Structure 1
Amino acid sequence: MSILDHEQVLIRTGPRSRLPVIVAVHSSTLGQAVGGCRLWHYADWRDGLADALRLSAGMTAKCAVAGLANGGGKTVVAVPPGVELDAALRRAVLDDVADTIASLDGGYATGPDVGTTPQDMAVIGERTPHVFCKPAEHGGSGDSSPATALGTLAALRAVSRRLHGTRALAGVRLSLVGLGSVGMRLARLLAEEGADLLVSDIDPAKRAASEELGATWVSPEEALTADADILVPAALGGILTGDVVPRLRCSAIAGPANNQLATEAVAGLLHRRGIVWVPDYVVSAGGVINALTLELHHETPAAARERVEAIEHTVADLLDTAEHRQMTPAQAAKDLVRLRLDAPSATASTEREPARLKP
């Protein structure tokens, strides 16, 4: 039997919605656990539990590498197949989530995720203060997508420096897979930088945006294996498989999509092919860094932006460490997470500089 690597897991049938409400707290070693609230259809509620366990562990890693004084958690509401979330049921779900979070006495705070919005966080905030990314008019930081895109841009600067010796992205050929809320914002930032941009999305209606950006439109399949300096996954996870790796024609991969690797072994396959892969939880941390800096640690917008842009230095350090130690960036990131969790009082939190590995 595998060992549960979480501090606590709370599973309730919501008294109003009658739906499974799952809160997984992976770690509070560095501080209050945080993680999004996912409202999604699952074939079986246990699939939702597996998601909560996996994603909460990922949040611990994301916060640790980002130098935040927070641990990882996750809320998942497992909606059965065929159940439609009308306004009344949605409200019932959010009230059930709020009461479940309140029962943890501040040990965990939630924000938006797949299936939920900043406005939903305002509803949850009516019953518990342990929520972030509420709309600005409700005292929150609102949509996290702009900060996530800005943090991804910072990561891409570090990758460009590794590949070309300069952080400038002008003329760098990037293949962006996915034009959702983060991907579209990132595409605009990259276009402003003068990048040679390929873009793709499963929605053909997004093609018009490529013309506005001066980008080349390709299919998602073409974008994945395009001849490019950097592949930028910004859509669904699991796209980097053992079968795909031999067909890749990029020098590096860095994007905000979560869970890009189909299995952990793919990181080694990429490394052996000489393709630099920056872990997604490092690249995509801008949104949570911005929200927590503003809402939970009560710092200024300028301080929040500085911390988001510091992702560039985090990625540069990881790449330097990986090269020096002859390991993958994924392993270097894991080592940094372990360093912070093993010595939280010495490494964390309100420091201006998070802990770093020594090359």
Structure 2
Amino acid sequence: MTEASPLVFGRTDGSDPRSGHEQVVFCHDRPSGLRAIIAIHSTALGPALGGTRFYPYESEAAALDDVLHLSQGMTYKNALAGLDHGGGKAVIIGDPSELKSERLLRAYGRFVASLGGRYITACDVGTYVADMDLVARECPPGRTWVTGRSSAEGGAGDSSVLTSFGVFQGMRACAERLWGEPTLAGRRVGISGVGKVGAKLAGLLLDDGAQVVVTDVSETAVAKVRSAHPQVDVVPSTEHLLESGIDIYSPCALGGALTDDVAAVLSKGGVRAVCGGANNQLDHPGVENLLDESGILYAPDYVVNSGGVIQVADELHGFSFERAENKAAMIFETTRKIFALAASEGVPPAVAADRIAEHRIEEISRLHAIYLG
């Protein structure tokens, strides 16, 4: 690092005792106000790939907890998406509306570059295509450790396009499992969170003939969706959404949406499936069992929301939207496979998905060991 950009790093190399992560790295750049954490969960399948979340965490401990969970989820997501990437994630601590600047983003770019390609970043909550263009300026010439950049910079653009498309494919698989046809026509779908992903998902569902009801803490987000799709119903809160007679619940905001209490409400309300774009939807291990015991079909979040990472991963090979979309369309078949395995082995879909992902990781790791040995 140059004296003009004094980044301070703290790192743990080797296994993190709480989560088995390969590497967790902290950064504090005082001139720009950057406080960030990068967590690399696994590189068994290749360089870790995952987005950067810019969020006003209550504490560094809360940020660390989030990045550890998110990065582990990326390992499984990338494995099931068939990508040659391990799992990683980053968080920037603070309110992006107050702290985000070119100086901070470029300092963050140097932080990413300090890992020498072990971690490849992209957009997430609070970060956008224009931000990734700035972050990428700090990569060495000829190195691409930042994805989700604008098309002008050779990137794939907004990854929420294929994230929402992938969630829609997962929802089609839910419909086929529950009602015999892979269509949402005539079904009522409730979306909690209509930001980048939820808003696009609403459009896809309406085009398929579904009835859509939405809620969001942001009045601006709701107004934007209503402007584009006047036929959507709006309710004031997630609680109202869950009690509005929906067939499928689609959490598309932040994680932890599926609690014990929510599972009970879903069961009483007659909801048949959960399929959404949010990461880490299960509030704690065991919620998947409550859903399964209640007869609620849960499409694992890291399976159905992998369209975005498929999109940005394609950017590393000279982006082709058609190629990326075709790969994201396979989320339908992957979700069907998970449901079939879950039924045959008598386990919740979340357990079946984990088993498939872990099998791929173990197989590739074994091949690497043989090759290196």
TM-score, normalising length: structure 2 = 0.86
The equivalent residue for 2:123 is 112
Deviations 1:294-353, CA, capped at 9 Å, x for gaps:
x123363221111111100010000010011100000001101210110116899xxxxx
Q: Is the 8 A contact 2:260 2:287 kept in 1?
A: yes
Match in the other structure for 1:338: 358
Q: CA deviation at 1:83?
A: 10
Q: Residue in 1 aligned with 2:98?
A: 84
Could you tell me which residue of structure 2 aligns to residue 266 of structure 1? 287
Q: Out of 236, 246, 250, which is 2:264 matched to?
A: 246
Residue 99 of structure 1 is matched in structure 2 by 110
Partners of 1:113 and 1:54 in 2: how far apart? 14
The residue that corresponds to 1:156 in the other structure is 171
Distance 1:268 1:3, change over 3 A: same
Aligned pairs for 1:27-66 (under 5 A) are 27-66=42-81
Structure 1 residues 196 and 323, CA, compared in 2 at 3 Å: closer, same or farther? same
Supply the distance in 2 between the matched residues of 1:287 and 1:99 (Cα, whole angstroms). 24
Cα pair 1:21 1:96 within 8 Å, conserved? no
Q: Which amino acid aligns with 2:249?
A: L
Q: Give the whole-Å Cα distance in 1 for the aligned partners of 2:127 and 2:367.
A: 33
Deviation digits for residues 39-67 of structure 1 (CA, Å, limit 9, x no counterpart): 22223223222222111111111101111
Aligned-partner residue type, residue 308 of structure 2: G
Q: Aligned partners of 2:253 and 2:262: how far apart in 1?
A: 16
Distance 2:177 2:367 in 1: 26
The one-letter amino acid paired with 1:265 is G
SS at match of 1:22: strand
Aligned length in residues: 343
Change (3 A) 1:203 1:106: closer
Is residue 191–residue 213 contact of structure 1 (8 Å, CA) maintained in 2? no
CA distance in 2, matches of 1:101, 1:40: 18
Q: What CA distance in whole angstroms lies between the structure 2 residues aligned with 1:23 and 1:2?
A: 16
Identity %: 38
1:16 touches 1:96 (CA, 8 Å); kept in 2? no
Q: Which residue of the partner structure matches residue 32 of structure 2?
A: 17
- Asked if the contact 2:55/2:96 (under 8 Å) is kept, the reply is no
Once structures 1 and 2 are overlaid, which stretch shifts more, 6-15 or 158-167?
Answer: 6-15
* Of 107, 121, 135, the match for 1:124: 135
The alpha carbon displacement at 1:114 in A equals 1.9
Pairwise CA distance, 1:210 = 4.3
- Which residue number corresponds to residue 308 of structure 2? 287
Gap runs ≥5 in structure 2: 1-15, 369-373
**2:213 aligned counterpart, secondary structure:** strand
Letter in 2 for 1:310: M
- How many angstroms does 1:5 deviate by? 0.8
Contact 2:156 2:321 in 1 (8 A): no
Structure 1 portions without partners, runs of 5+: 349-359
Equivalent position of 1:194 in the other structure: 209
**8 Å CA contact retained: 2:81, 2:310:** yes
Show the counterpart of 1:356. none
SS of 1:26's partner is: strand
* Matching residue's letter, 1:110: T
SS in 2 for 1:238: coil
After TM superposition, the structure 1 stretch with the greater mean CA deviation from structure 2, 144-153 or 198-207, is 198-207
Give the alignment partner of residue 236 of structure 1, picking from 254, 273, 280: 254
Query: CA shift at 1:199, angstroms?
Result: 2.3
Q: Greater CA deviation, 98-107 or 209-218? A: 209-218
Greater Cα offset, 330-339 or 39-48: 39-48
Residues 149 and 182 in structure 1, CA contact (< 8 A), matched pair in contact too: yes
